[in-house]
Amino acid sequence: MKLVHIEYKNRNKAVALTILLLFCIPVIACAAPVPPDSSITYTITILEDGTASWHVEYRTLLSSDDDAAVFDAYAKNISYTYLPQFQDLMQRSAAQAAAATARPMEITDFTGDAVIQTTPTGRFGVVYYSFNWKNFAKTGTDIAIGDAFSGGLYLAKDNTLVIRYPVGYTINIAEPEPDLVRDGLIWYGQRSFGAGEPRLVFEKSGFPFLTILLGSGFVLIVIVVIGMILLKRRRDKPDQPEEEIVREEETVRLSRADLISIEEQIIGLLKASGGEQYQSEIVKNLGLPKSTVSSTLNDLHQRGVIQKVKKGRENLIRLT
């Protein structure tokens, strides 16, 4: 682990911008403390070929216009001064990790940027560094991470380490145990990792093809297509009144006495519920086939005993 300090001054005060980098160099350089209200997030995304895509985000509170002016001056020099320094440091780190693991490594695709962001909680100076570290992880049947951290790691207070793994893999080993698993494995500072930690092993899922489909949104596409087909069929087929929907069930022939009994039960249900009830509730309460209840309601409607009020796709049955 190593600390890189970038200091810049104005006429009234000196402001220290501390970039904390996590990698395998077992060197601890101490200097000015991290400014108040600052935080650093390290996000390492592991690819299936063992490449690690690093993203380092440093965020510090700019409590005054002087702080903002100093940070703006720093941002203008990031591409010419600080990014090359960062690149040189990481390349030396990869060289030492390669020697420790006997695995060829290379750092590529460096980018850096610095911006000022204004949020409801204040104004912040944000520095971004990103790069790709080839052969960072050991690949084979599984993907293993940790040997590149031969000197261990240190997370300062309010700093965060996030390690993400490829789609189609599951966590087999995670030492030490992460503080949180959500869109990756997450550790919060302040804490120290031992040599070769964090040690992680990811194994291929038993259903990689299905996992890839889920990760790529394939299932969502299928659901949308099926929904469109069903919607089209529904539009092509006009809605039928509830009493006209024929259910595939055996027709029950009822006597006149049975029909009168059912009519009395329906009228009793309507009176008990304040004079009205949905047809589906009547069917449920009577425990009779829909066709039988529908036929009885039609008869009562023709005789003027009840009214049918259309409510969406349902009928509200109301005593006259």
CATH of 252-319, one of 1.10.10.1100, 3.30.499.10, 1.10.10.10, 3.30.465.10: 1.10.10.10
Domain ranges across the chain: 2-218, 252-319
Tens of pLDDT, residue by residue over 157-198, are 889 999 999 999 999 999 999 999 988 999 998 899 999 999
Least confident range from 14-23, 121-130, 260-269: namely: 14-23
Side chain identity, residue 189: G
Contact 26, 3 (CB under 8 A): no
Beta-carbon count within 10 A of 41 CB? 15
* Between 285 and 258, residue with greater pLDDT: 285
Least confident range from 87-91, 94-98, 212-216, 246-250: namely: 246-250
- The end-to-end CA distance of the chain, in Å, is 85
Contact 198, 149 (CB under 8 A): yes
Closest CA to 83 of 106, 56, 47: 56
Distance CA 318, CA 291 (A): 19
Taking CA atoms, 127 is separated from 34, 39, 56, 82, 259, in Å, by 14, 11, 8, 11, 81
Tens of pLDDT, residue by residue over 191-243, are 999 999 999 999 987 654 444 444 555 556 667 677 777 776 666 655 555 44
- Going across the sheet that includes 122-134, the strands are 106-119, 122-134, 52-61, 39-46, 160-164, 185-188, 180-181
What's the pTM value of the predicted model, to 2 decimals? 0.57
